[in-house]
């Protein structure tokens, strides 16, 4: 473990180096973020990241971080729980995005356990943090396992009723680390339905069939198959059993690198970053532009705290909310 710099508060951010299963990773304690991820035999990084801590503080759109206390959006930045309204930080239009302006991705996590190929980070979120009730203890475990697997296990406990759904927020580019758009990648998503959204990206109604729409990725096709804008920031509805399931295949025909995603979660937010334009350089001096990477965020559905018909994000004392996602990389 090494120093990655100091926050404006004076606190030290550490960087942990992991190696295993044909992968190497750099994890920073700010946001429990994966700064760099590499696959043996492939020169470029697999994720978008930044070289300097100050750039993460000023410019990072959740690069590699853990989004929470509730990943994605809560409409109107408010929800009712047990007859009481809770008002949240409104940092996206009038909504709460990824837990608010100072959500889990902006916090300093502590290293609780570390080995050559794994690390466990912990965050204690106080009652009232960004408006969320209850004190929550969150943990993130990253492990590099055999077969090019990055296993992400997220867990949370609370001392009072609350809502909680975290997500890993890496931007993937399997070709050249973000020099060219990821929309040339091919993708397959095992989802029969998706959530339509309104102009501010809040779910608008019940899940709708992907059949006959630009959201039909049941067969492998280029991300920009339905048009060059390829502007996706939508939830694909997955199996709700809570069992591990393979939900995404992503591959770069040019590099030969592929990614398979397995998860226990009922939703996949596919975000293609159509408006990304960084003013600072990323890993290797790359300037990230439109569609530089694609996010595959496994999570509970957006605005679930306000929708009784959506999978529940409620967490109560005595319960442990655990979610697991495995990203498997392969070349050739």
The whole-number average pLDDT for the span 175-189 is 96
- Over pLDDT 70: what percentage of the chain? 100
User: Which has the closest alpha carbon to 288: 14, 44, 12?
Assistant: 44
pLDDT confidence tier of residue 227, bands split at 50, 70 and 90: very high
Q: Which segments of 40-161 are extended strands (E)? A: 65-67, 73-74, 78-81, 84-87, 96-97, 110-114, 118-125, 136-145, 149-158
Closest CA to 46 of 143, 141, 175: 175
Residue 332 clears pLDDT 90, i.e. is over it = no
Q: List the structure tokens of 209.
A: 């069939």
pLDDT digits (tens, 9 = 90+) for 260-273: 999 999 999 999 99
Q: Where along the chain do its domains lie? A: 2-331
Kindly indicate the confidence band of residue 299, based on its pLDDT and cuts at 50, 70 and 90: very high
The verdict on whether 169 is a catalytic residue reads yes
pLDDT of the residue at 59: 87
Task: Provide the pLDDT confidence category of residue 9 given band limits of 50, 70 and 90.
Answer: confident
Q: Which DSSP symbol is given to 288? A: P
* 279 has pLDDT over 90: no
DSSP class of residue 282? B
What's the pLDDT band for 280 if we cut at 50, 70, 90? Answer: confident
Q: Is the pLDDT of residue 243 over 90?
A: yes
Whether the pLDDT of residue 221 is over 90: the answer is yes
Q: Is 215 left (phi over 0), alpha (psi -120 to 50) or beta?
A: alpha
User: What's the confidence (pLDDT) of residue 48?
Assistant: 97
> Over the stretch 79-103, which tens digit does the pLDDT of each residue have?
999 999 999 999 999 999 999 999 9
pLDDT tens per residue across span 200-214: 999 999 999 999 999
Catalytic residue flag (residue 112): no
**Which residues have a Cβ under 8 Å from the Cβ of 95 and sit 6 or more positions away?**
73, 74, 75, 76, 77, 200, 201, 202
> Which pLDDT score, from 0 to 100, does residue 277 have?
87
224 pLDDT band, cuts 50/70/90, is very high
Catalytic residue among 157, 175, 186, 297: 297
Task: Give yes or no for residue 133 having a pLDDT over 90.
Answer: yes
pLDDT at 214: 98
So what's the pLDDT on residue 162? 98
Architecture of the domain defined by 2-331: Distorted Sandwich (2.70)
Residue of 14, 86, 168, 169 with catalytic role: 169
Task: Please say if the pLDDT value at position 165 is more than 90.
Answer: yes
**For residue 248, what pLDDT is reported?**
98
**Tens of pLDDT along 12-55?**
999 999 999 999 999 999 999 999 999 999 999 999 999 999 99
- 53-65 residue pLDDT tens: 999 998 888 999 9
């Amino acid at each position: 473990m090494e120093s990655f710099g100091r926050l404006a508060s004076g606190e030290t951010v550490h960087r942990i180096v992991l190696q295993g299963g044909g992968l190497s990773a750099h994890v920073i304690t700010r946001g429990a973020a994966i700064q760099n991820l590499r696959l043996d035999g492939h020169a470029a990084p697999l994720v978008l990241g930044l070289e300097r801590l100050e750039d993460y503080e000023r410019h990072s759109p959740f690069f590699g971080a853990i989004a929470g206390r509730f990943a994605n959006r809560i409409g109107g930045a408010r929800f009712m729980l047990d007859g009481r309204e809770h008002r949240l930080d409104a940092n996206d239009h009038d909504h709460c995005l990824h837990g608010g302006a100072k959500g889990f991705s902006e916090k300093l996590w502590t290293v609780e356990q570390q080995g050559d190929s794994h690390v466990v980070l912990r965050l204690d979120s106080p009652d009232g943090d960004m408006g969320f009730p209850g004190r929550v203890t969150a943990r993130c475990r990253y492990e590099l396992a055999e077969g090019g697997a990055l296993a992400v296990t997220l867990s949370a406990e609370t001392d009072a009723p609350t809502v909680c759904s975290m997500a890993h927020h890496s931007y993937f580019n399997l070709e050249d680390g973000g020099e060219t758009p990821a929309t040339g990648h091919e993708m397959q998503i095992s989802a029969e339905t998706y959530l339509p959204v309104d102009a501010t990206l809040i779910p608008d109604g019940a899940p709708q069939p992907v059949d006959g729409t630009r959201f039909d990725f049941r067969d492998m096709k280029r991300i920009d198959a339905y048009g060059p804008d390829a502007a996706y920031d939508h939830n694909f509805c997955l199996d709700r059993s809570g069992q591990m399931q393979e939900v995404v295949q992503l591959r770069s025909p040019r590099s030969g690198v592929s990614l398979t995603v397995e998860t226990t979660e009922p939703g996949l937010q596919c975000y293609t970053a159509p408006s990304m334009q960084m003013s600072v350089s990323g890993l290797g001096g790359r300037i990230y532009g439109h569609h530089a990477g694609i996010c595959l965020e496994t999570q509970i559905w957006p605005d679930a705290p306000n929708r009784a018909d959506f999978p529940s994000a409620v967490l109560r004392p005595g319960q442990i909310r655990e979610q697991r996602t495995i990203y498997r990389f392969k070349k050739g």
